[in-house]
Amino acid sequence: MDEQARAILQRVIRKIPNKKLQTALRAWDHLSSEQLESLDYAQPKWLFLENLISRCEENRLSLKDVTKLEMAYYIDNPSKGTWHAYQLFQAEGDAVSVNFTQFREQLKAHLKDVVRHVSVRTKKLEDGAVWIRIAWGDNFSKPNHLKPTYVVHYLQTSYVFVLNLMSKHKPFLYQALLLSTRHVSIKEAQLSSRSLTAMRDLLMRQYQQVFPTNQERTLKERNAPPSHPSIEKEHAECAERRHQMACEAFGDGVLPKLETAVYKLETKYRGNSNNTLNDKDELFRGVVMFSSSNLLESFRHCVSAGMAEGPVTPLLSSITQKGRNSFVITDKVPGAASQTPAHKA
């Protein structure tokens, strides 16, 4: 193992919490079970690392293998950073027929075309997700394995999820993705979260949605009758209505775990007399951010508990309906009666 491989291994091992070390190494599948047994996972990290390095050297593992370890760890623990969603548009005729090998080869080729030093590693999981790890270099320096970009794409879908992408690498990645997936354009989908699965569920509609047919039943079930005949709820009907409203907006059942929703205001401040603040056309900029460990669940609870007045404003309900959590709100065009916020891509 060379110096670089060691440095990367050290970096990776530091990142992994002690109690997850064993599973990560097992998922990596580069050490024999005896070797895995012989390691003491309770040791301080630096000591553990020394032992691990000696095992790796026994197996003659290289930098390539170490990056695989990092990838395996990220695949098992995808919530280690903020993922951003991108959407592909205008599929070409042969987009549906792209298979994994083709995609991999093309992506690598296109990336290597534009960036001389780049290291790309791909892996296809059982659920169809293609994981791509890209370590970027440039024409003069070797790929930087300390800050790799991760890309997750499900073939034949129009969404790509990206972690740790620097803006200077964005055009390269855009181009490579478009060419290898046979699309014409790509845009940011205005959705970001720490939870990759939540984003996937939200965008690919894999969470339990509400359909008008089963609403009655679920509501009846939810509104359990009071535990005693002499206890009665005065506002039972209202509560039911609120539940219904909440479910219409956010669905019933487990919701994808989003952490934040950001609303950028690019509106003019208007006082009571409908004057702008300083009578100029200057925008009153501001950002409203909601955050919670499970934002959609919180919204639904707020609505069903009556903390937020119903009906649910489209500003909130469009998180699930449009699959995005970052909005820009601009002033209404005079005359247009539409309540929906104007979205900028």
Record the tokens describing residue 15, joined without a space: 């990142």
- Are the C-beta atoms of 268 and 331 separated by less than 8 Å? yes
For helices 63-76 and 18-28, what crossing angle results, to 10°? 120
- Are the C-beta atoms of 143 and 117 separated by less than 8 Å? yes
Q: How far is the CB of 245 from other proteins (least distance, A)?
A: 15
Segment (H or E) for 74: helix 63-76
Q: How far is the CB of 221 from other proteins (least distance, A)?
A: 17
- Are the C-beta atoms of 112 and 139 separated by less than 8 Å? no
Pick the closer one to other proteins by CB: 171 or 226.
226
- Are the C-beta atoms of 69 and 25 separated by less than 8 Å? yes
Record the tokens describing residue 1, joined without a space: 């193992």
Whole-number Å distance between alpha carbons of 28 and 231: 58
Pick the closer one to other proteins by CB: 42 or 345.
42
Record the tokens describing residue 55, joined without a space: 């095992």
Pick the closer one to other proteins by CB: 48 or 284.
48
Q: How far is the CB of 287 from other proteins (least distance, A)?
A: 24
Q: How far is the CB of 247 from other proteins (least distance, A)?
A: 18
Cβ neighbors of 289 (< 8 A, separation 6 or more) are: 260, 261, 262, 263
Pick the closer one to other proteins by CB: 33 or 230.
230
Q: How far is the CB of 48 from other proteins (least distance, A)?
A: 11
Pick the closer one to other proteins by CB: 44 or 271.
44
Pick the closer one to other proteins by CB: 227 or 339.
227
Whole-number Å distance between alpha carbons of 117 and 244: 55
Pick the closer one to other proteins by CB: 50 or 282.
50
Q: How far is the CB of 231 from other proteins (least distance, A)?
A: 5
The backbone region for 314, taken as left when phi is positive above 0, alpha when psi lies in -120 to 50, beta otherwise, is alpha
Longest dimension (CA), the chain: 80
- Are the C-beta atoms of 85 and 157 separated by less than 8 Å? no
Q: How far is the CB of 300 from other proteins (least distance, A)?
A: 16
Whole-number Å distance between alpha carbons of 341 and 319: 12
Pick the closer one to other proteins by CB: 56 or 176.
56
Binding site for other proteins (CB under 8 A): 10, 44-46, 226-228, 230-235, 237-238, 305-307
Q: How far is the CB of 246 from other proteins (least distance, A)?
A: 14
Pick the closer one to other proteins by CB: 121 or 241.
241
Q: How far is the CB of 230 from other proteins (least distance, A)?
A: 5
Nearest alpha-carbon partner for 65 in 76, 53, 77: 53
**Phi and psi for 45 in degrees, rounded to 5?**
-55, -45
